[in-house]
């Protein structure tokens, strides 16, 4: 897996190339779209690398460690614990990191321009990629 620096570098590459005068407007849009998506992947990768590092902390409570490990415990109707995988949004992960591992107050951070830009970025990304569903790794291809 690539690091966040790779994705940000690739994003910068596509954004810079989107200004190439030999490209038509549709091609420029392709380059800008790829740049945007790679930027978001870079942000997610960065936040996830912080999550991975923090998950080995010894000062975490069990439920905090579970959140960092993307796990959730529920009790079934039969009284049995069921562990499931969760996929918290990048913004939720970021707020968790700020709340537990910085001196900033989340309520104050949410009033900043940076948070507004991150949320706008997430909203734009969600409009481009509206549905995140597990996809079969092996597509069903017709027989020839």
Domain annotation covers residue 142 = no
pLDDT in tens, 1-45: 789 999 999 999 999 999 999 999 999 999 999 999 999 999 999
Domain annotation covers residue 143 = no
What is the pTM assigned to this prediction?
0.78
Residue 63: domain span: 59-87
pLDDT in tens, 78-111: 999 999 999 999 999 999 999 988 999 999 999 9
Domain annotation covers residue 144 = no
- Residues 107, 65 share a domain: no
Taking a C-beta distance cutoff of 8 angstroms, is the pair 71, 83 a contact?
yes
- Residues 42, 16 share a domain: yes
Six-digit token string for 103: 């001196």
Taking a C-beta distance cutoff of 8 angstroms, is the pair 46, 30 a contact?
no
- Residues 64, 95 share a domain: no
Q: State how beta strands 81-85 and 71-75 pair.
A: antiparallel
DSSP 61: -
- Residues 108, 38 share a domain: yes
């Amino acid at each position: 897996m690539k690091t966040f620096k790779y994705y940000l570098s690739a994003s910068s590459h596509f954004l810079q190339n989107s200004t190439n005068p030999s490209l038509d407007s549709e091609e420029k849009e392709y380059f800008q779209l790829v740049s945007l998506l790679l930027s978001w992947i870079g942000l997610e990768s960065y936040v996830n690398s912080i999550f991975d590092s923090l998950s080995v902390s010894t000062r975490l409570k069990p439920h905090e460690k579970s959140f960092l490990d993307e796990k959730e415990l529920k009790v079934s109707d039969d009284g049995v614990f069921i562990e499931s995988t969760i996929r918290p949004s990048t913004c939720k992960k970021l707020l968790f990191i700020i709340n537990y591992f910085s001196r900033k107050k989340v309520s104050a951070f949410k009033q900043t321009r940076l948070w507004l830009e991150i949320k706008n970025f997430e909203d734009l990304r969600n409009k481009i990629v509206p549905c995140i569903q597990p996809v079969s790794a092996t597509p069903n291809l017709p027989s020839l």
